[in-house]
Amino acid sequence: MVEQRSEKEIKLAVRNRYASAATQAAEHSCCSNDYPSDIPVAAKNLSLGCGSPVTYADIEPGQSVLDLGSGGGVDVFAASKLVGSGGMVVGVDATLEMVLRARETARDEGFKNVEFRLGEIEHLPVQDESMDVVVSNCVLNLVPDKERAFAEIWRVLKPGGRVVVSDIVAKDEMTPELKGDLEKWSECLSGAMTEEETQRRSAAAGLSNFRVLEAGGWLDMGAGVPLRSLTFASEKPATATRENS
């Protein structure tokens, strides 16, 4: 019989894995993203993403940007260069050790337009309609409650705001055995949605104009289901009101 995993178990497994990554001295970058040379090395060494959402986000000076699951802060620091001194970039992560590492890097490198907050994507410590852009890099697959995560993205975006996400998607639905594997959950595998589910959940939350910006090739990552990286975007309609949330 396949063991069912609770949200609490999944979140604990994920936090333990990333707490370990944050506290070890070795580099943990798992992707080949070419971040600018002026991004702190400490943040690049903790880059655990699967794409470059900031590259596609059309971030402008003075904007407010939110990074979901910010980890060591590499995408936050990249976005901070784009918003300039008149803007602000907020990173939210559920792992305290990652938040502390990112805050330390920001302090040591003199970043004034960034902030790192401890919190879950399903319960973002962010005001309603306060963000021009939301980005996320290989994190939504780690969230047990996908519906709530998309609802929170809608809530914090300003009308007309946009979200750009790089994530791991599955070619087929995950099996019950995979969904019960905590190690593979923490490895960004068991919680992967299909592309169709991703688009469906985005639309159900009230986001529109879903489009794929970049897609990798299907790979066998040890999950028994083909997986690939996918970068997609969608928007909160300019006419949206809070009553829709």
Write the pLDDT tens digit of every residue in 98-152: 999 999 999 999 999 999 999 999 999 999 999 999 999 999 999 999 999 999 9
**Is residue 175 predicted with pLDDT exceeding 90?**
no
- Give me the pLDDT at residue 179, please: 86
* Domain span including residue 81: 7-244
Indicate whether 133 belongs to any domain.
yes
Q: Which of 166-170, 197-201, 223-227, 241-245 has the lowest mean pLDDT?
A: 241-245
In 3D space, the residue among 125, 122, 133 whose CA is nearest the CA of residue 233 turns out to be 133
> Which long-range contacts link 4-8 to residues 24+ away (Cβ below 8 Å)?
4/180, 5/179, 5/180, 5/182, 5/185, 7/144, 7/145
What is the distance in angstroms between the CA of the first residue and the CA of the last residue of the chain? 38
Indicate whether 77 belongs to any domain.
yes
3-state secondary structure of 136: strand
- Give me the pLDDT at residue 34, please: 64
**Is residue 168 predicted with pLDDT exceeding 80?**
yes
The model's confidence at residue 161, banded by pLDDT at 50, 70 and 90, is: very high
**Is residue 57 predicted with pLDDT exceeding 50?**
yes
- pTM listed for this prediction: 0.93
The model's confidence at residue 33, banded by pLDDT at 50, 70 and 90, is: low
3-state secondary structure of 24: coil
Indicate whether 1 belongs to any domain.
no
| Rounded-to-10 torsion of CA 147, 152, 153, 155 | 130
SS3 content of the chain, % helix, strand, coil (to 5): 35, 25, 40
Residue 224 has which token pair? 């028994």
- Say how far apart CA 70 and CA 75 lie, in whole Å: 7
In 3D space, the residue among 76, 87, 133 whose CA is nearest the CA of residue 109 turns out to be 76
The model's confidence at residue 32, banded by pLDDT at 50, 70 and 90, is: very low
**Average of per-residue pLDDT across 48-73:** 95
**CATH number assigned to the domain comprising residue 38:** 3.40.50.150
The answer to whether 145 and 7 are in contact (CB under 8 A) is yes
- Give me the pLDDT at residue 153, please: 98
- Give me the pLDDT at residue 242, please: 58
Indicate whether 174 belongs to any domain.
yes
Indicate whether 2 belongs to any domain.
no
Residue 56 has which token pair? 């596609």
The model's confidence at residue 2, banded by pLDDT at 50, 70 and 90, is: low
| Structural domains of the chain, count | 1
